[in-house]
Chains A and B, each alone.
Chain A
Amino acid sequence: MWNKVFVTAALVAGMATATIARAEAPAPYNVTPELEEAAKAEGKVVFYTATDVAVAEKLAELFEKTYPGIDVQVERAGSERVFQRIGQEISSGINNADVIETSDAVHFEYFKRQGWLQAAVPQEVADKWPADERDPDGYFAAYRAHLSVLAYRTDLLSEADAPKTWTDLLDPKYKGKMVKAHPGYSGTVMTATYVLSELLGWDYFEKLGQQDVMQVQSSTEPPKKLAQGERPLEVDGNEYNIFRLQEEGVPIRIVYPEEGTPLAVGNAGILSKAPNPNAAKLFYSFLFSLDAQQLNSDFGGLRSFHPEVVEKAERTPMSKIKLLHSDPVKLEPLIQEIKTHYEQYFGT
C-alpha cells in the first residue's frame, strides 16, 4: 500500500524533476474581503506544525482575534512525526490538514514532488522574502528559521568551564552532563546532524555517543531539560526555546561556536486537497504578515525573513553568527544512513 506509493512516487519524482521544466509561480494574492468572507463560511483551519506548542497556540490566538469566526486547530508534533502523520493520512485518502509547516526542508521538496501542495504566493512573500527563502514555483516559503544551539546553565557551569566549540563536548568532564534531541523525531536535529557530520565527520558523533548523553525526542525538549535542571548542557535544541526561557529568568547562555551553528528553516505550504481551501489561503497569508512574524519573534524567539521584523536587542543578530546551511537535496538520500549511524552511536 503505502510503501508502494512511496517507492513509485520517488521514482516518478526523480524523473519529473529531471525532465519537466519549471512551472511559473502563480501571481501573488492579497487578502480580499471575498476571501475573508469565504474563509469565514468555512469556519476553521487545520494547521499541522512543528513549532513549539505554546508558540503555535499563541499564533492561532492572534489569527482568531484578527479574523473572528475562524477557529484554528493546531496539531503540533515533531517535524518527522508530522511528516509521518501527513504521509499516512494522504496515502489512506484522508485530507485533514489545510496548512503544514515543519522544520525539515527536505519535507517540502518531497511534498512538492508528490503534488501534495498547491502553489500560492501571498503578496507579502512576493514583495519582501529573499529569493533563497521561497520556492521559485510558489509552493512553499520559509515561514520561520531558528538555530540548533549549544547552551548551558550558567549557575551549574561557569563560563570558564563551558565548552567553546563542538569538539570541546568530547571532553570527559562533560560526561553525563549533556542532553540532546533525536534526528528521527526532530527536523531541526536531522538538519543539524547532517551539517555537523559533514563538518566534523561521523567519528565526532561516535565519540559523543560515549559521553552518556541523555536522549530526548523533540528539539524543544533539551532547553526544557536545562530549565528543569536535569542536565547543565545541551548539545542541540531550539534557539527560540532558549530565548523564551531566558526571558522567564532561567539562567541559560547560548554558545555560538566558531565552526558555525546549524540553521533550520521551517517552511510552510498549503495542501492541495485542503478541506478548507479559503481559510487555508487566508491563514497562510497571515503566517507571513508582519504581525504574525513579529509575534513569532517577540513571543516565540523565532528568526524571521520579514525585513521589517525588529528583534529584541539582547539577541545576537543572525548576521553576527556563522551559520551552517543545509542542502535538502543532498540530505534527502542520506536520511536512512544518518538514522542508522545515529542508532549505532546513541542506542536509539
Chain B
Amino acid sequence: MSATVVEGRRASVDLSVPIFLILGLLLSVLVILPLFWIIWYSFTSDGGGGFTLANFAALVTDPTLVRAYAIAIGMAFAVGVLSCLVATPMAWLVARTDLPGRRFFRMLITASFVTPPFLGAIAYEILAAPNSGIVNVAFRSLFGLDSSTVLVNIYTFTGLVFAIACFTFPYVFTLVANALDKVPSDLEDASAILGGGAMTTLRKVTFPLVLPAMLAGTLIAILQSLTMFGSPAIIALPAGFHVITTKIWSLFQFPPRLGLAAAAAIPLLVITVMLLRAQKAILGRKGYTVLGGKSGTPRINTLGNWKWAAMAFVLTVLSLTIFLPYGAILKTAFTNTAGDPITWETLTLRHWRFVLFEFSATQLALRNTFLLGILTATIVTAIALVTAYLVTRRSIAGAGYLGVLATAPVAIPGIVLGVGLFLSYANPTFQLYGTLWILLIAFMTIELPAGYQQMSSSFAGVHPELEEAGRIMGASRLRTLWDITAPLLRTSVVAAWCFVFVGTIRELSATILLTTANTKLVSVIIYDLNESGDLGAICVLGILLLVASFAVVYIANRVPVLGGSQMNARG
C-alpha cells in the first residue's frame, strides 16, 4: 500500500467517530434518562417529596396492586399459551401442506398485524357483550331463546384473554411459519427414508426443530399482553378488575401518586427483562435449527381427506381474528347503534358526518398521527441503519455498546416508558410535555429495537467485500454506506420503515400518558370516545386509520426510489 493512499484517506474526513459519539449520546439519553427518573421517583414520597421505601412496601402490602399484578401475569401466560396453540397448527398448515389458498391465508394473517389491539378489543365489545353483542343476539334469535341466555361474555377474564390472543397470535404465527420454511428438508427426507410415517416425522423431526421458534413466539405474546394497556382498559375495567397497566394509569388520576406509579412500574420492567433473557437463552441454545440456511425446498405434506378439517380450522381462526371483528367495525360505522339489526332504516352515515365534519379533534389527530408515524419511521430507520452498520462492521472500538443501547428499550414496557418520559420531560425545565417532541421521543425509543433488529440481521447478509471496494476507491464510510450498502438493503429498509410506521400508529400505552389537547393522536381519541361509549364514531375512526395505514404501507413499497420492493413477512 502506497503512502499516497494513506495520505488521501487522512485528508477526507471520516465521520465515523463523531457519528458514533452522537449516536451513543442520543441513545443513552433516550434510554437512560426515563429509567433514571422512574427509579428516582420510586424512592420519593408522594406526600412531601422526601426519601422513602413506602412505595415499594405498598407493592407488597396494597392488595389492589398485588391483585392487579397477579391478574396481569395470569392473563399474559394464558394469552401466550393460547396464541401458541392456535398459531402453531396454522403455521404448519400454511407453510408445509397443500392447503388450498395457503399463500393468501398467510398474507392475510401478516396483514392483520396492522390491526391495533385496542380496536380489536372494541370490535369484540360489539360482538360479544353479553346482552347486546351481535353473536349473542344472533344465537338467541336462532334458537328462540329469551334475553337471559348468554352464549359468550367478553367482559370476563377469559374474554379478555381471548380478545388479546386474537391479535397477538400473528407474532407466534410469523416466527413459527418462518422457522418451518427453513427446516432442512434433508432431515425430514432422512426420517421418511428410514420408514418414519408423516406423523412420526412431524413429531420427531419437524416439531423439535421449530420448538425454539414456538417458545420465542410465545414469550413475545406474553410480553405483548403483559405490557398492553388498551385492551385491558376496554374489557377488564367494565368487568370490574384491574391489570397492572390500567392500575398504573389510574394512579395518575388526581391527586397523582407518581412515586407509587413509578414503583409499580419497576416489577414490570424486571419481568420483561427476565422474559427477554429467557427468550434469548432458548433461541441461543437451539440456534442451529433455523439459522442453518436452506437446503432445498421445504417438503409439502399432502392433506388428503384432512383438507376439509384443516380448512375449517383455518377459516374459524380467521373468522375470529379478522372477518368477524372487521365486519363488526364496518357494521357499527354504518348503523345507528351497535345493537341495531342491518336494514335499510338503520343504515346511516351520521357517524361519518360526525367524525368528518362535526368532531373538531379528527383532523388534528389524523395529521399528528401520520406526521409522527412518518417522522418516527424515517428517523428510526436511519438511526437503525447507521447503528447496525457500525455494530456489524465493528469499524470502531466499542461499537457493540450501541447495539446494546439500541436493543435495550425492548425491555421497557410502553406504560413504564410513558411514566419515565412524563417524569423526565414534563417539568418546567424541559417543557416538552404538550408538544409532539415528547411523543416523537417516546415512539423512537419504543420502535428502535424493532428497527435495529431488522437492519442488523440484514447487514449480516451483505458481504463487506463490496464496501471494502468502495472504501479502497476512496469513498468515505458514509458514502459507501449510502451508495453501496443501502441500495443492497433496500428491501429491508422499506420493511423496517413500514414496521416502525405501523407500530407507531397503533401505540397507545405510552401515548395515553403523554398527549395533550394539541397533540392528540387517533389512538387516543378512539380511547377517549370509548370511555364515553361512542362506538359508531370509534369504528369510523378505526376504518380511517386502517385505510390510511394500508395506503402509506402500499406507497412506501411502490416508491421507485425505494426500489419498489415487496414488504417481507416480518414487516
Contact = CB atoms under 8 A, between A and B. Distances in A.
A346 B64 CA distance: 12
Interface string B60-94: 00001000000000000000000000000000000
Interface in A147-205: 156, 176, 182, 184-185
Nearest to A230: B132
Nearest to A249: B336
Contacts of A48: 517
Nearest to B68: A348
A3 B46 contact: yes
A92 B532 contact: no
Contact of B434 (A2, A96, A182, A220): A96
Given A88-B426, A217-B237, A221-B533, A57 B359 contact: yes
Contacts of A327: none
A26 B427 CA distance: 33
Contacts of A213: 240
Interface stretch (B255-263, B486-494, B500-508): B255-263
B361 interface: yes
Contacts of A217: 237, 531-532
A343 B360 contact: no
A231 B130 CA distance: 9
Given A76-B528, A89-B433, A92-B428, A3 B258 contact: yes
Nearest to B528: A77
B269 to A, nearest CB: 21
B259 A3 contact: yes
Nearest to B336: A248
Interface stretch (B246-254, B372-380, B401-409): B246-254
A171 to B, nearest CB: 16
B64 to A, nearest CB: 6
A19 to B, nearest CB: 23
Contact of B132 (A2, A78, A228): A228
Interface string B511-529: 0000011100000000011
A60 B131 contact: no
Interface in B423-476: 423, 426-428, 431, 433-434
A232 B46 CA distance: 42
A92 B64 contact: no
Given A84-B253, A87-B256, A57 B358 contact: yes
B529 A53 contact: yes
Contact of A214 (B155, B354, B431): B155
A94 B532 contact: no
B70 to A, nearest CB: 13
A87 B422 CA distance: 13
A347 interface: yes
Contacts, number: 163
B98 interface: no
Given A231-B131, A343-B64, A78 B531 contact: yes
Given A78-B531, A343-B64, A94 B434 contact: yes
A215 interface: yes
Contact of A93 (B431, B528, B533, B534): B431
Contacts of B426: 1-2, 88, 92
Nearest to B237: A348
A85 interface: yes
Interface string A326-348: 00000000011001000100111
Given A214-B155, A215-B240, A348-B241, A96 B533 contact: no
Interface in A65-115: 71-78, 80-81, 83-85, 87-89, 92-94, 96-97
A60 B360 contact: yes
B532 A220 contact: yes
A43 B218 CA distance: 53
Interface string B118-139: 0000000000011110000000
B361 A218 contact: no
A247 interface: no
A227 interface: yes
Interface of B: 46-49, 64, 129-132, 147, 155, 236-242, 246, 250, 252-259, 337-339, 354, 358-361, 364, 422-423, 426-428, 431, 433-434, 516-518, 528-529, 531-535
4 A-B pairs with the lowest CB-CB distances in the bound complex, closest first: A347-B240, A224-B533, A221-B533, A94-B434
18 contacts: A54-B354, A57-B354, A57-B360, A77-B531, A88-B422, A88-B516, A96-B434, A176-B130, A213-B240, A214-B238, A224-B534, A228-B533, A230-B131, A335-B255, A339-B253, A348-B236, A348-B242, A348-B246
